[in-house]
Amino acid sequence: METKAGVITAVVTSSSIRGVGLEVGDEAVALFKSTEALIGKL
């Protein structure tokens, strides 16, 4: 994910990606907590 501050990377399971219907090129939002990351399709 590209941000104004730089690129953010994370490991996300393919099951989670399928669960929210993300595909290459989709806009997304990520919420980070110290022990987890939540990702959703925009």
User: Diameter of the chain by CA atoms?
Assistant: 28
Rounded Cα gap, residues 29 and 13, in angstroms: 16
* C-alpha atoms less than 13 angstroms from C-alpha of 19 in its C-beta half-sphere: 8
Tens-place pLDDT, residues 1-42: 778 888 877 788 999 889 989 888 898 887 777 677 777 787
Domain definitions of the chain by residue range: 2-41
pTM for this model (two decimals): 0.47
Token pair for residue 18? 């399928």
